[in-house]
Amino acid sequence: MSMGDRPVALVTGAARGIGLAIAAALGAAGYDLVLADRAAPEDLVPAEARVRATGARTFGARFDLAALDEHGPMLAAAASALGPIDLLVNNAGMGAVERGDLLALKPENFDRIIDVNLRGTLFLTQQVVAGMLATASPHRRAVITVTSVSAALASPERADYCISKAGLSMFVQNLALRLADTGIGVYELRPGIIRTEMTAGVAAKYDRRIAEGLVPAGRWGEPDDIARAAVGLATGAFGFATGAVLALDGGLSLGRL
């Protein structure tokens, strides 16, 4: 059982951006939070402070998602601090190491992005779900994975990123089928163009393209747009929709003539 009355959520990539927004929203919704990130411990301090301000207990966990041998110790420390994990939010990921011609894609760059975005996420999820199945809890259990519209929309200059997200999306579908009869909900969130530190370097480009009509909604997405959806899925508002893919992109991925 959980150490407290509140369910426990683990959010990866929680030091900033979408991950931090999700963690804060979950805290406000009644969760205690494990904030896992590759960031230095001092960089997790303001993130923990923001989440604790919602009334949540927090545990800051520094680990490298790509280093599979770090998963077990991180999860053990988190469970010792807050209790068993009821909700996993797979948010951590990285963009293309180097944008450029698909025909010049370097194997080491491909391997790096697959190790983080796909391999690391898959095997972390495997461990967390095994713990969920082995430990009783009075709380709803779920796995929410943040992918990208790039799981379905091709960008040849960053094909490695697109491939990693497409693979992650297929993993979610397989996981949803595997867990459908267990009561553990499995969901995929596909953000579009979201205003975060990751997109800061291409902000001017997307400002222009949004003004030209790229996004039907006519604006950037914000981290809170993703966080609100995550809370709804986590708390059971869409309990019968396991395996669902939710586009959070202002209509970007809709087919148009």
Out of 31, 161, 187, 206, the active site residue is 161
Closest CA to 86 of 128, 56, 52: 128
Q: Judge whether 31 counts as a catalytic residue.
A: no
Query: Is the distance from CB of 33 to CB of 56 less than 8 angstroms?
Result: yes
Closest CA to 11 of 132, 160, 179, 142: 142
Query: Cα angle vertex 61, ends 163, 25, to 5°?
Result: 75
CA atoms of 88 and 147, how far apart (whole Å): 14
Residues 6+ apart with CB under 8 A from 247: 149, 190, 192, 253
Closest CA to 48 of 5, 16, 84: 16
CA atoms of 102 and 247, how far apart (whole Å): 26
What is the set of active-site residues? 161
